A and B are shown apart, each in its own frame.
Chain A
């Protein structure tokens, strides 16, 4: 008897222990999403953090000035403008009145004969130093290993990218030499144009369908339309992109007589279609949550069904419709493949919807493969990822907030 008691007790202890163990395992599983978000934050920031410590000038190169030149600092954009010939005088970048003389390594042959440079270019360091000393307006772009020990000039090599150059930069040109351009503005504006275009197209459409599904259609029509919308949501984005590429892009090119059909508008149309299921589902749910009593009261007062819809149902479901719109924008901003395939990917600030644009996600997808790990380009792409992540977090949190407001009312 005693033995049985002990056995039974042990059995229950083991059992309770097992229960606790399982609960612990479940809790750990439950925390995976939170841990993932934490890890995403850590890793994105870690990889992107070096961006503002990365040199403005291409790795392994320096810029050299004449010693008398008072200019000691140049921003990434100024360097690019100088080498593009857009800035031609030192007084434009804070120096004295003096024309800028741009010299690259290959230009050295204009100043010296090949014999003077040496058969193995062994005299380049000395000659470069000499040239820099002689020309007061010179800016010389030189590989680090050609810099002479006692270089007769000012070297610009520790300049790092400024946050202003990134966040306010108007050009994205990561392969530019000598100074790659990591300007966020064209990409951010491209993303916003395409997403806003998409939401303008799909929001009226989505709300109309949601109203029809929630208030007008009978059960049979609903049972037919719902799976159709689910299928539309299930089509992979790369297929949407392909469809856009072979159907919408040529169509736009023909209709608007454009040089290229890959435009922001093509992206907006494709994204608009892709955002439809999200908008419809969320807006319809919101309209279904309108209390029956409110609708009945409106109808009992003599309002028609249509009056009830636009005076009672839609105002009541306003917060739900807002979150549908916000969620749709979120989807559109983050969408990568379809946009990459149809928007033409020209990293310029757009002026109309009929120009090629490049979005942030498309930039990451297109360029990360070419960027060497740890380099400035790589860090800039991760910084884009950070920005994208922050935008979507703001959207998620604002939806949470919109939802809360509804309940407190």
Chain B
């Protein structure tokens, strides 16, 4: 007890001597500035939520009235001011499918190579830098490139094939990065255990590493689908048709696509005012697809991470 008193005195006396008697004031100032700053940060963070709600809310409330069975299953009519968007939905599905067939195998294999065979080596670093560079290339440059290579040089014409390859290249960096990161997250001891049991490297990857990394890889793949289905610039000159009520017959036919359709009817359609309703509906369908894909990815990630924990 006595000791404590003594300490208090020694604490306060030198402070007074140094002229720092208004410590309480400084504390309050500090606390106020912290409070103000934190409130601002908090408000700004919730403003981001506000922006999302504003965009989604606007498109949902304006677009929900347009959505009907007919809208989803009929072709556009009367200069795209009436009718539905069925060909555009089908076209987008084809493009997503086509680009996935191209980018998933190559991206996953590339990720496996970087993390399992060349981890830390110069080759892996080089591939990583190139992949990062590729992901920084603007989508419209992919469009130019796809047009020059696939449409003109390889003579695919404006076709699903050309569009899918262009979109596939665009989504490749995302697939590679998620695969690599999923593999990196797996503890080394699993690989060593498998190798110690006499399994070859390939067997280890196939039977041990890949199954464990699978949930995260799937999440990445789903996110890349979301990205691909909303891209417009790369398909402008490689596949997208302004108006084409027929469904595609081969991989060499043109298709309509949701994002391009939205662009066309909101900026250069035959009658912009008359097709506004369709535009809202198209935007809602597009956003619906992207959100579903995102939520699905989120759900899978949570689901699998819980499952791994209980194991």
Task: Name A's B-contacting residues (CB within 8 A).
Answer: 15, 18-19, 22-23, 25-27, 29-34, 36-37, 39-40, 43-44, 46-47, 205, 208-209, 211-213, 216-217, 221, 225, 227-232, 234-243, 245-247, 273, 276, 280, 304-307, 309-310, 327, 330, 333-337, 340-341, 361, 364-365, 368-369, 373, 381-382, 385, 388-389, 392-393, 395-397, 399-400
With A238-B262, A238-B286, A239-B262 given, is the CB distance from A29 to B134 under 8 Å? Answer: no
Seed contacts A205-B48, A228-B52; 20 additional CB < 8 Å A-B pairs: A15-B200, A23-B113, A30-B109, A30-B110, A32-B110, A33-B172, A33-B173, A36-B134, A43-B153, A216-B38, A227-B294, A234-B223, A236-B259, A307-B34, A336-B232, A337-B259, A341-B263, A341-B267, A365-B140, A397-B133
Query: Which residues of B, 114-147, contact A by the 8 Å Cβ criterion?
Result: 114, 117-118, 123, 126-127, 129-134, 136-141, 143-145, 147
Q: How many A-B residue pairs have CB under 8 A?
A: 255
Return chain B residues, CB-CB under 8 Å to A23: 113, 117
Would you give the shortest CB distance from B207 to chain A, in whole angstroms?
Answer: 14
With A36-B172, A336-B140, A337-B232 given, is the CB distance from A30 to B127 under 8 Å? Answer: yes
In the complex the two chains form, what is the Cα distance from A246 to B237 in whole Å? 26
1/0 contact string of B24-48 vs chain A (CB within 8 Å): 0000001101100110111011011
Q: Does B232 contact A236, Cβ atoms closer than 8 Å?
A: yes
Q: Does A365 contact B294, Cβ atoms closer than 8 Å?
A: no
In the complex the two chains form, what is the Cα distance from A217 to B286 in whole Å? 32
B13 at the interface (CB under 8 A from A): no
Return chain B residues, CB-CB under 8 Å to A211: 41
In the complex the two chains form, what is the Cα distance from A229 to B293 in whole Å? 15
Would you give the shortest CB distance from A168 to chain B, in whole angstroms?
Answer: 23
Q: Does B40 contact A208, Cβ atoms closer than 8 Å?
A: yes
Q: Does B136 contact A395, Cβ atoms closer than 8 Å?
A: yes
Would you give the shortest CB distance from A199 to chain B, in whole angstroms?
Answer: 16
In the complex the two chains form, what is the Cα distance from A217 to B39 in whole Å? 11
Q: Does B106 contact A232, Cβ atoms closer than 8 Å?
A: no
Return chain A residues, CB-CB under 8 Å to B141: 40, 44, 334, 385, 388-389, 392
Return chain B residues, CB-CB under 8 Å to A243: 55, 58-59, 283
Return chain A residues, CB-CB under 8 Å to B59: 239, 242-243
B15 at the interface (CB under 8 A from A): no
Return chain B residues, CB-CB under 8 Å to A395: 136
Would you give the shortest CB distance from A242 to chain B, in whole angstroms?
Answer: 5
Return chain A residues, CB-CB under 8 Å to B191: none
B202 at the interface (CB under 8 A from A): yes
**Can you list 30 A-B pairs, Cβ within 8 angstroms, ordered by A?**
A27-B113, A29-B110, A31-B127, A33-B173, A36-B134, A36-B172, A43-B148, A44-B141, A44-B144, A46-B148, A208-B40, A208-B41, A212-B45, A225-B45, A232-B51, A234-B226, A234-B291, A234-B293, A237-B233, A238-B230, A238-B263, A239-B286, A242-B266, A304-B31, A334-B137, A334-B141, A335-B138, A365-B236, A392-B136, A393-B133
Q: Does B33 contact A306, Cβ atoms closer than 8 Å?
A: yes
B65 at the interface (CB under 8 A from A): no
Would you give the shortest CB distance from A201 to chain B, in whole angstroms?
Answer: 12
With A33-B131, A44-B148 given, is the CB distance from A212 to B44 under 8 Å? Answer: yes
What are the 8 tightest A-B residue pairs by CB atom distance, in nearest-first order? A236-B230, A334-B138, A29-B109, A306-B34, A26-B113, A212-B41, A30-B113, A336-B233
B227 at the interface (CB under 8 A from A): yes
Q: Does B236 contact A369, Cβ atoms closer than 8 Å?
A: yes
Would you give the shortest CB distance from B220 to chain A, in whole angstroms?
Answer: 13
Q: Does B109 contact A228, Cβ atoms closer than 8 Å?
A: no
Q: Does A43 contact B231, Cβ atoms closer than 8 Å?
A: no
Q: Does B139 contact A334, Cβ atoms closer than 8 Å?
A: yes
Return chain B residues, CB-CB under 8 Å to A337: 232-233, 259, 263
Would you give the shortest CB distance from B165 to chain A, in whole angstroms?
Answer: 10
Return chain B residues, CB-CB under 8 Å to A309: 37
B90 at the interface (CB under 8 A from A): no
In the complex the two chains form, what is the Cα distance from A26 to B113 in whole Å? 5
Would you give the shortest CB distance from A297 to chain B, in whole angstroms?
Answer: 18
Contact of A39 among B42, B55, B149 (CB under 8 A): B149
Q: Does B130 contact A306, Cβ atoms closer than 8 Å?
A: no
Return chain A residues, CB-CB under 8 Å to B41: 208-209, 211-212, 216
Return chain A residues, CB-CB under 8 Å to B147: 368
In the complex the two chains form, what is the Cα distance from A238 to B257 in whole Å? 12
Q: Does A225 contact B48, Cβ atoms closer than 8 Å?
A: yes
Q: Does A209 contact B48, Cβ atoms closer than 8 Å?
A: yes
